[in-house]
Structure 1
Amino acid sequence: MRKQTAGKRLFQYALLYKRTIIIALLMLTVAVAAELTGPFIAKKVIDDHMMGIESPWQQVMTEDDKTVTYQGLLYKRAQYVTSDDEVGEELLQLVQVGRSFYAVDEHLAFDGQRELNGTNLTITQGENEASYTAVPLTQSELIAFYQPEVRPIIMLLAFYVGLLLFAAFFQYGKAILLQKAANRIIQRMRTDVFEHIQRVPINYFDNQPAGRIVSRVTNDTEAIRELYVKVLATFFTSGIYMTGIFVALFLLDTRLALITMLVVPIILVWMFVYRKLASKYNYLIRTRVSDINGMINESIQGMPIIRAFRRKEQMSKEFETLNQEHFTYQNKLLSLNALTSHNLVSVLRNLAFVVLIWYFGGQSMTAAGLVSVGMLYAFVDYLNRLFQPVTDIVNQLAQLEQARVSSERVFELLDEEGEDVSTEQLPRYEGHVKFNDVSFSYDGEHDVLKNISFEARKGETVALVGHTGSGKSSIINLLFRYYDIKRGEITIDGINAQTMPRQQLRKHMGIVLQDPFLFTGTIATNVSLEHPTISKEQVIKALRDVGADRFIEKLPNQYDEPVLEKGSTLSAGERQLISFARALAFDPAVLILDEATANIDTETEAMIQHALNIVKEGRTTFIIAHRLSTIRHADQILVLDHGEIVERGNHEELLLQKGKYFQMYQLQQGREVSVVS
């Protein structure tokens, strides 16, 4: 099945909250529409009211809020005259020449180049020329002509302020909803990633540093959050703004709007080229961040070893190498961003203004003032607004690439084959375990287990002994189905373990490791792991069964004593006792002790041995041990060597064989033995 691209999968995550996103985009559209009315309102204020006094005026007989008194007569702008007005014969038109205004007692036949010689006004348009007698206006007379326009201007400005407040409300709602949707998406994605980590096979973690996985769950998902919150929000906002601006430009002038639309393909080509150049650097940067996280995690985990063996300088050098590589790639990406960001936007903006000046100044302004001052202002305003979203898009290209690379890394983890979670409920099995001619290899080439066959009946204790690398832990890994076999068969109560759901198989197993892991919480929660079926009473009983109550009840909070990460405030023996209690509290059918008494003193070991003799009744118990004194009473001891069972029997039988077990036992008793062939 072909995998979907990261972009499609990010889109699918967004669809989970499409209702919120659609409402946010609708609010954004309304806000943009409200904001983009500004230049149109400004055009109307300039052309109809501020420059409108140069329109033809008509004498009227009655006074109202639109009339102006000039030289004892009442005048009203021709477009304000209605059928109810009684008009007179006198005409008037105001003309601005330079910084002064003049009154002409007739309407101009046409407009064009204006020239004043004394009181003689000459207007030239191409081959046409007309002369008029012009009377200069005093400041008070000019203000009087502006008085009818004050109220409409105030109303328009108030209307625009109201639109801005309206737009601000919708912009606020848009920002809240988009960020809420983005946070929900990342919350869902992080949950998916974390849950998937619980499902991937154990061998995945054998090949991946913990810090690298942590980086994908935290840093990479945070970069994706920025994609939804900033990048996509910016792209949507800019796209709607540019669409609205182009609509406004087409309403003003179709030809110039078509010219300005050349910006769109330039941006698209620009984005394509940038992504090609930046993707490599972003991938290397994210990889180095993961490597740095992995090294920091490893350094913290191994700090006692680093200090003990004086490896501080070497670790610092290795860290500095990674840090320097990260710095180098960041600088290369910074140079690319500096070259292709604001500088190119400035060039495009300046070219657009050149076209504007050429179009209006070279053609329209000479064509008898066919383009008004308000139109010119509106075009300049819209062009300025057009390049702001362009700048926003360009500034987010780097973040877009980082998010794209991060999403690929996150989805790469999500694409790792996971184990299906089964809800099927199987009854607690008896614990009759049988290995039948099992061979296993981790790498597919070198067998670590070779033709392993043995049987452990219900209630029996089976001990696995042998040198390091002999295959003891591998047998336990296969029993837990951390790995699946391809040769041989493992059965539990006669059922092939391969056919049993992993969750149900492990539900009835318990394990105690040589190096027990305690979680942040309390002693009680580390025993129950907050499983709903395990009561506080069962937790306390399990701890008492293994003798942990001797030290717990001396603690200030006893069973609710806080436990730090890995149980660092407890001794190795105390952590091991809690781990024993954890295994017992879950009442397993099969109990595995993996070098479980290696870190416990002799007195504690004797106490645990006594407890185990009680709790292992009715359970099948597997013990991996180097200290042979702990397995003297095992029903069956398997001696492994290079992945094969070379000896089997109980303690006395193996001693009588005088083989490898005998040799190991004598060595641990401090006696000299001859090499057993």
Structure 2
Amino acid sequence: MKQQSTERRLFQYAFMFKKSVAIGLICLIVAVGLELTGPFIAKHLIEEHIVGIETQWHEVTKEDRWTVSYDHKQYKRDDRLSSAEESRGVATILQVGRQYYFVDEEVPMTGSRSFANGQLQVEQSDQSIRVDANQLSLSELYSFFKPEQPSIYWLLALYVVLLLVAACFQFIHTFVLQKASNRIIRKMRDDLFSHVQRLPISYFVNQPAGKIVARITNDTEAIRELYVKVLATFVTSVFYMTGIYVALFLLDVKLALLCLVVVPIIFIWMKVYKYYGGKYNTVVRSTVSDMNGNINEAIQGMSIIQAFRQEKQTSQDFEKLNDKHFFYSRKLVKLSALTSFNLVNVIRNIAFVGLIWYFGSGSLGAEGIVTVGVLYAFVDYLNRLFQPVTDLVNQLPQLEQARVAAGRVFELMNEEGEKVSETPMKRYKGHIEFNDVSFAYNDKDYVLNHISFEVKPGETAAFVGHTGSGKSSIMNVLFRFYDHQKGTVKVDQQSINEWSRQQIRSHMGIVLQDPFIFSGTILSNVTMNDKSISREMAIQSLKAVGADRFIEKLPQQYDTPVRENGDSMSMGERQLISFARALAFDPAILILDEATANIDTETEQLIQKALDVLKQGRTTLVIAHRLSTIKQADQIFVLDRGTIIERGKHEALIKKGGKYHHMYKMQQGALKEPAV
């Protein structure tokens, strides 16, 4: 089945929270739209109410809010004169340099202007006009602006209100999108961790724990940054740039087309950065995983490292990974240095050079290419355009880092997991049959060869043999940590392959040679937070195996906190807790994997009593290291190189004088040399 692309799967996770994302994007569009009205308001304010007085003025008789008193006469702007009003004469106000002049007649608004000796001259291509003109004083000029003041104040107030409303929508957009982003990552982490628990045991054998931890924590955190910052920035920038280009085209099509050159430059650079940044980030993320694995291994084995004085070698191994990480991180820094500041500045300068070239000389003014208001709005929008461009380019490193991290997360999710079936199953009796079973971990080198045996309900069967003889492999097959390649394994006359792994394990318990204790309390390690096991049941299990002897001496007794792996307890104490855990779950089949191998003789007697309690009423399979502990077993199977070479009870095997007899005598100290 073809795997979906990383980008598509990231989108699918975002789509799970489409309502929140949609609300955030709608608020973003509204905020961008409101912000981009500013230059249009400024353009209108400049053209209509500031430079708008430079036009023809009509002498009128009736006074209203738009009339201006000058030289004992009333004047009204040409665009303020209604069709019903009668004009008694036309005057003109023109600007030359920084001064305004009043001409008591109609004068063309186009052409170059100059003022000298009380006369204003207008030069056009086909004629030259010279008229008498009066320079307006500051107070006189102010009177011509006075009718426009209410509109100016209203537009400024409108602009401020729009900015405040836009800020509110921007806040809602940011809050909603960040909330949605955190929910997306929470969902992704839950899915990833749940998937990890469905992976077969073989995956964890081949993968260092630190690498898996890095993907669940570091890589998902990088993806969180993608949703929280990168995508929000990209979406904001794209909407903002789109709005700006729409506004530019509304102002002037030719100028807007000139500015479109920015888009292909950004697109090309993003492609280049994706290629090189992707390669470098892949190495960086992989190296971070290796470093986590190295650190985890070093911490777990610190006592060995210090005991054998390997601190220097361990540091050198870590330094190699650290140097590799530094080398490729530096490459990323160099790549990013070409963007953020330099690239955007170059594009900005090119855009303004194009703007200057477009206008050329003498193109501004009433007869020029654009008006002053359009030019102001255009320059404002052009400046605004480069803020989202800068944001886009600055987020490229985070984008590639998150994309690579997402690829690593989805790669883990693509690992084929085991099907989970939580359908309850009636407790089976524990009748175990292996019929001609062969098994290999790599489908080639068989570690079990034609194994056949039967263990009836309630019996205790022991498996002995040298290291690598296949004892633990039998338990792995029965527990379905691995599936056998040949033969059949049955429980109560039914093949275990017909049940799900969860069902077959639901009535099995296991006690390992080195029991694992989780962070929490003594009680939580017995119940495993299973609601079906009450506090009373857990305490009763602990008492049944004799663990109450040391627990009740503790200050908090059964609620005593324990650290990871129970480092504050002895091996025997940890083993008793693991026995109580198995007893509390009341399995039909109990597997003891060399449960007494690391126990001292005194503690062994206590554990043997616990074992007697534990075995009652259930089928027990024992991987034995100390043969003295399995004398009472109903059956003993002696394995050698994946095959059963002897079987029977303790006394019968001793009388037989074979492999078992030899192993037993060696442990009793009767033999000095091992058998050939």
* 2:578 aligned with 1:579: yes
Q: What's the counterpart of residue 459 of structure 2?
A: 460
What's 2:202 paired with? 203
Tell me by how many angstroms 1:310 deviates.
1.1
Contact 2:287–2:321, Cα closer than 8 Å, also in 1: yes
**Matches of 1:107 and 1:293, distance apart in 2:** 84
| 3-state SS of 2:107 partner | coil
Aligned to 2:25: 25
Q: Which runs of 5+ in 1 are unaligned?
A: none
Question: Counterparts of 1:68-79 in structure 2 under 5 Å?
Answer: 68-79=68-79
What are the superposed Cα offsets for residues 398-455 of structure 1, whole Å, 9 maximum, x if unpaired? 1111111111111111111111111322211110111111111112222111111111
Matches within 5 A, 1:234-633: 234-362=233-361, 364-365=363-364, 368-633=367-632
Q: Secondary structure at the match of 2:298?
A: helix
> Are 2:365 and 2:372, in contact at CA under 8 Å, matched by a contact in 1?
no
Deviation digits for residues 46-90 of structure 1, max 9, x if unmatched?
A: 1111111212212222333322221111222121223565x4524
Find the residue that maps to 1:51 and give its secondary structure: helix
What is the deviation of 1:607? 2.3
CA distance in 2, matches of 1:206, 1:635: 34
| Cα 1:366–1:535 shift into 2, 3 Å | closer
Distance, in Å, in 2 between the alignment partners of 1:26 and 1:584 is 58
**Cα separation, partners in 2 of 1:75 and 1:622, compared to 1, 3 Å:** same
Shift of 1:20: 1.0
> Pairwise mapping of residues 66-215 of structure 1 onto structure 2 (< 5 A)?
66-83=66-83, 85=85, 87=86, 89-215=88-214
Specify the code of the residue in structure 1 equivalent to 2:419.
D
The aligned counterpart of 2:661 is 662
Distance across 2 between alignment mates of 1:154 and 1:471: 91
Tell me by how many angstroms 1:129 deviates: 2.2
Query: Alpha-carbon deviation of 1:114?
Result: 0.9
User: Is this contact kept in 1: 2:545–2:613, CA < 8 A?
Assistant: no
Contact 1:508 1:590 survives alignment (8 Å): yes
Comparing 589-598 with 109-118, greater Cα deviation is found at 109-118
Who is 2:670 aligned against? 671
Q: Per-residue displacement from partner, 1:283-313 (whole Å, max 9, x unpaired)?
A: 0010001111111111111111111111111
Q: Distance in 2 between matches of 1:367 and 1:525?
A: 85
TM-superposed CA distance for 1:675, in Å, is 5.3
| TM-score normalised by L of structure 1 | 0.97
TM-score, normalising length: structure 2: 0.97
SS in 2 for 1:89: coil
Would you say the 8 A contact 2:55–2:109 is kept in 1? Answer: no
Partner residue in 2 for 1:36: 36
- 8 Å CA contact 1:431–1:620 kept in 2: the answer is yes
Deviations 1:83-116 (A, max 9, x none): 565x452432222211222111123223121111
Instruction: Quote the Cα distance in structure 2 between the aligned partners of 1:611 and 1:172.
Output: 63
Q: How many residues align?
A: 676
Provide the rounded CA distance (Å) in 2 between the counterparts of 1:573 and 1:310.
29
Higher mean alpha-carbon deviation, 442-451 vs 476-485, is at 442-451
Q: Residue 610 of structure 1 aligns to which amino acid in structure 2?
A: K
CA distance in 2, matches of 1:597, 1:662: 21
Segment of structure 1 superposing worse, 168-177 or 252-261: 252-261
Tell me the residue number matched to 2:56. 56
Where 1:584 maps in the other structure, the secondary structure is helix
Q: Is residue 448–residue 641 contact of structure 2 (8 Å, CA) maintained in 1?
A: yes
What is the CA-CA distance between 1:194 and the residue it aligns to?
A: 0.3
Mapped to 2, the partners of 1:492 and 1:128 lie a distance apart of: 112
Cα displacement (A) at 1:367? 7.8
Q: 1:366 to 1:81 in 2, by over 3 A?
A: closer
Q: Which moved more, 1:60-69 or 1:246-255?
A: 60-69
State the Cα deviation string for residues 612-649 of structure 1 (Å, max 9, x = none).
22331221101112111111111111111221212211
Name the amino acid aligned to 2:59. Q
For the aligned residue pairs, the C-alpha RMSD in angstroms reads: 1.5
Q: Deviations over 1:115-140 (max 9, x none)?
A: 11221211123233222211111121
Matched with 1:16 is 16
In the alignment, is residue 220 of structure 1 matched against residue 222 of structure 2?
no
Describe the superposition over 1:328-385 as per-residue Cα deviations: whole angstroms up to 9, x where unpaired.
Answer: 0011111111123331221111111111112223473388335211111111011111
CA spacing shift, 1:132–1:363, aligned 2, 3 Å: closer
Write the distance in 2 (CA, Å) between the matches of 1:675 and 1:501: 44
Distance in structure 1 (CA, Å) of the matches to 2:154 and 2:511: 81
How far apart, in 2, do the equivalents of 1:142 and 1:366 lie?
Answer: 20
The whole-number CA distance in structure 2 between the counterparts of 1:640 and 1:5 is 49
Return closer, same or farther for 1:676/1:288 CA change in 2, 3 Å cut-off: closer
Secondary structure of the structure 1 residue equivalent to 2:93: strand
SS in 2 for 1:459: coil
Give 1:5 shift. 0.8
Separation in 2 of the partners of 1:560 and 1:348? 66
Instruction: Describe the shift of the 1:343–1:539 C-alpha distance in structure 2 as closer, same or farther (beyond 3 A).
Output: same
The question of whether the paired residues in 2 share the 8 Å contact of 1:659 and 1:676 is answered with no
In the alignment, the residues of structure 2 paired with residue 120 and residue 369 of structure 1 have an alpha-carbon distance, to the nearest angstrom, of 24
Per-residue deviation at 1:42?
0.9
Query: How far apart, CA to CA, are the structure 2 residues paired with 1:104 and 1:394?
Result: 54
**Structure 1: which amino acid aligns with 2:219?**
D
The one-letter amino acid of 2:373's match is: G
Cα contact 1:115–1:122 (8 A) shared by 2: yes
Given that residues 125 and 368 in structure 1 are in contact (C-alpha distance below 8 angstroms), is that contact kept between their aligned partners in structure 2?
A: no
SS of match in other structure, 2:469? coil
Does the aligned pair in 1 maintain the 2:666–2:674 contact within 8 Å?
no
Separation in structure 2 between the aligned mates of residue 493 and residue 363 of structure 1, nearest angstrom: 100
- 2:568 counterpart SS class: coil
In structure 2, C-alpha distance between the alignment counterparts of 1:547 and 1:364, rounded to whole Å: 99
Write the letter of the residue equivalent to 2:558: Y
Per-residue CA deviation, residues 480-536 of structure 1 (Å, 9 max, x unaligned), is 000001111111111111111110100100001111111111111100101111111
Distance 2:14 2:132 in 1: 71
Which is worse superposed, 511-520 or 265-274? 265-274
Q: Which moved more, 1:563-572 or 1:61-70?
A: 61-70
Q: Which amino acid aligns with 2:166?
A: A
* Contact in 1 for aligned 2:545/2:614 (Cα 8 Å): no
For the Cα contact (< 8 Å) 1:112–1:369, is it kept in 2? no
Change over 3 Å in CA distance of 1:124–1:623 after alignment to 2? same
CA distance in 1, matches of 2:322, 2:96: 69
CA offset at residue 154 of structure 1?
1.2
Identity %: 59
Change (3 A) 1:267 1:674: closer
Contact 1:666–1:673 (Cα < 8 Å) also in 2:
no
CA shift digits 1:204-261 (9 cap, x unpaired): 0000010100111111111111111111111111111111111111111111112212
Q: Within 1, Cα distance between the matches of 2:643 and 2:337? A: 64
> How far apart are the structure 2 equivalents of 1:572 and 1:197?
29
Task: Return closer, same or farther for 1:351/1:636 CA change in 2, 3 Å cut-off.
Answer: same
Instruction: Return 261-270 or 558-567, whichever deviates more.
Output: 261-270
SS at 2:131 equivalent: strand
